Amino acid sequence: MEGIPLLGEKMPEFEAQTTHGKIKFPDDFKGKWVVLFSHPADFTPVCTTEFVAFQKRKSEFDKLNVQLIGLSIDQVFSHIKWVEWINENLNVKIEFPIIADDTGRIAKLLGMIHPSKGTNTVRAVFIVDPEGILRVVLYYPQELGRNMDEILRIVKALQVSDANNVAMPANWPNNELIKDEVIVPPASDEKTANERLEKAKSGEIKCFDWWLCHKKV
């Protein structure tokens, strides 16, 4: 696990063979958000349900300027045959590339192999912004399939946060306290705290207290 990328760092560069040809990561995807996700193995039940679920939401990811990229330590011909099987038997055409990391080089580079969980890749998700900066890492055990709606929510929330310099509450956009509103960053000095309270009085923002303010975007 040594040397794996941390949040806020540039993603490591690598070249790889995929089902859509060779790619250079992250350079080929500059200007796009990327959801890079690993799966333990082709032709396995949970992974198959995940790929179908990702594909079913591809148009939603497209609207968010997101490139989906899969990865496992299978060879490219295995990926190709698995994608064909999904299309022929489940009537779902997988339209995003899958990296063939048959040497395990990339999986090791990104910390996708956890020895206590076996020799295959765990279900890792790396969310990368248009500048190639790692923003979110999620790890799931092999026996637990991912929630793709949560991954969509994460990307939406990051984009709103970046565009408005705000923080996102729990369960956004269905937060129990402020619903679909967002959190104004806490004041770091007395002057800003007092300004927050004045803005609250004028209705520009709403506050439970000076340190917990929210607004619509």
Active-site residues: which are they?
47
Q: Which amino acid is at 7?
A: L
First CA to last CA across the chain, in angstroms? 39
Q: How far apart are CA 10 and CA 182, in angstroms?
A: 27
Bond preceding residue 173 cis, omega within 30 of 0: yes
DSSP 97: -
CA distances from 215 to 40, 66, 170, 210 (A): 42, 27, 15, 13
- Which residues fall within 8 angstroms of residue 13, CB to CB, at 6 or more apart? 24, 25, 26, 27
Contact 67, 33 (CB under 8 A): yes
